[in-house]
């Protein structure tokens, strides 16, 4: 069996078997197009039950589209969105907020600690902007990335503190939930407690990184904001004619808690990697590992050895800092994690192979969803 060596992203994996099975089932027969099918229409009830409150949900094909639609609504008719300086909405979507909003939106990066917004800094920057002349773009919203690109998770109290800053200044609150499942699994709380109960108005709900093929959604807790989204989505080209194939993925992911089981496994594999790498002298972790991403600076011999072995990671930050990101996915096998640790220890000159917490690495539970050979063809 070939050992997985691609830890570049949680996007490198295929789809969960449950999602593929749901797609095959949805492929049978004819049904109404453009979201008028029973599966899409049933998402409202499915997500309302998931979040324990009435919501409106709109499937889209990518996280960029979900964030862009949210930005266009948040900024209307014009306005600034305050967010993490590492937030995808600001630096990783090619000016998406401006594009999706017809030039009305502007993202304002706020310095962070471990990838998380600090309420005092947010309040100061918003207040300074509000004190400027009307020629400036007015503050309109705050966007929270949960979990963060630094692999950290906001506690419920931290989100409440940010929401308090926003509400005192009449700002809307958006949550970029590309890895919301990982955050909820880490917090051990109900999805409702991590979103609308702490004051989130609308959510970019991520599924693709967590076992879907290509499916995301915009979820409205503040349903008054949803008035224009059907038109914005249509104009943006994300009202798919065969929408059932997006919707059935979302349905399969949240049905019976699959999204949280997948995320919990990915989180566990990341913790296993961090604990194993921590035994290597000279290893540095720039931030905690709360979810499925391990940010780490490795000694040069270890880095060179792993690259020579064929391992793939992504760089994070300036090259001089030497920080890489090791990403685990819903289907990352424990055997692949232990093989990575054994290789890292070998290149560091440590005896005994891969060890976790000072003890020989023992197999843990297999991933909750692992594609069969047939599902990987093509």
**Nearby residues of 325 by Cβ (< 8 Å), 6 or more positions away:** 293, 294, 295, 313, 314, 315, 316
How does DSSP assign 246-259, residue by residue? HHHHHHHHHGGGHH
DSSP E strands in 178-245: the ranges are: 202-206, 216-220
pLDDT at 104: 67
pLDDT at 37: 95
**Nearby residues of 44 by Cβ (< 8 Å), 6 or more positions away:** 55, 56, 57
pTM tops 0.95, yes or no: no
Domains within the chain, CATH numbers bracketed: 17-256 (3.40.640.10), 258-353 (3.90.1150.10)
Q: What is the dihedral of CA 208, 212, 213, 214, to 10 degrees?
A: -50
The residues of the chain scoring below 70 in pLDDT are 1, 87-105, 135, 352-378
Can you read off the two tokens belonging to residue 158? 């931290």
pLDDT at 356: 46
| pLDDT tens-place string over residues 69-83 | 998 898 878 889 999
Half-sphere exposure of 258 (CA within 13 A, CB side): 20
DSSP label at 365? Answer: P
């Amino acid at each position: 069996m070939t050992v997985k060596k691609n830890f570049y992203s949680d996007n490198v994996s295929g789809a969960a078997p449950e999602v593929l099975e749901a797609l095959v089932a949805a492929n049978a027969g004819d049904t109404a197009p453009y979201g008028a099918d029973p599966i899409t229409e049933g998402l409202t009830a499915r997500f309302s039950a998931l979040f324990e409150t009435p919501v409106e949900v709109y499937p889209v094909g990518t996280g960029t589209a979900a964030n862009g639609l949210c930005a266009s609504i948040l900024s209307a008719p014009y306005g600034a969105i305050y967010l993490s300086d590492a937030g995808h909405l600001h630096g990783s979507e090619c000016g998406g907020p401006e594009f999706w909003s017809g030039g009305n939106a502007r993202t304002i990066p706020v310095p962070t600690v471990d990838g998380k917004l600090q309420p005092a800094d947010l309040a100061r920057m918003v207040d300074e902007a509000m004190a400027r002349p009307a020629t400036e773009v007015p503050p309109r919203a705050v966007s929270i990335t949960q979990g963060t690109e630094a692999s950290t998770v906001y506690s419920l109290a931290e989100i409440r503190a940010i929401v308090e800053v926003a509400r005192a200044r009449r700002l809307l609150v958006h949550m970029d939930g590309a890895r919301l499942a990982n955050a909820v699994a880490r917090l051990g709380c109900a999805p409702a407690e991590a979103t609308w109960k702490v004051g989130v108005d609308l959510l970019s709900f991520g599924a693709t990184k967590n076992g879907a093929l290509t499916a995301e959604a915009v979820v409205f807790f503040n349903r008054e904001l949803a008035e224009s989204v059907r038109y914005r989505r249509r104009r943006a080209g994300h009202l798919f004619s065969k929408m059932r194939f997006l919707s059935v993925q979302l349905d399969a992911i949240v049905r019976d808690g699959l999204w949280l089981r997948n995320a919990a496994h990915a989180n566990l594999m990341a913790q296993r990697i961090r604990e194993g790498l921590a035994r290597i002298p000279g290893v540095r972790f720039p931030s905690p590992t709360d979810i499925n991403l391990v940010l780490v600076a490795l000694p040069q011999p270890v880095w060179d050895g792993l690259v020579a072995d064929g391992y793939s990671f992504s760089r994070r930050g300036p090259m001089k800092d030497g920080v890489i990101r090791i990403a685990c996915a819903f289907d990352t096998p424990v055997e692949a994690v232990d093989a990575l640790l054994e290789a890292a220890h070998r290149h560091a000159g440590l005896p005994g192979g891969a060890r976790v917490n000072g003890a020989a690495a023992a197999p843990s539970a297999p991933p909750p969803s692992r594609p069969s050979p047939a599902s990987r063809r093509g």
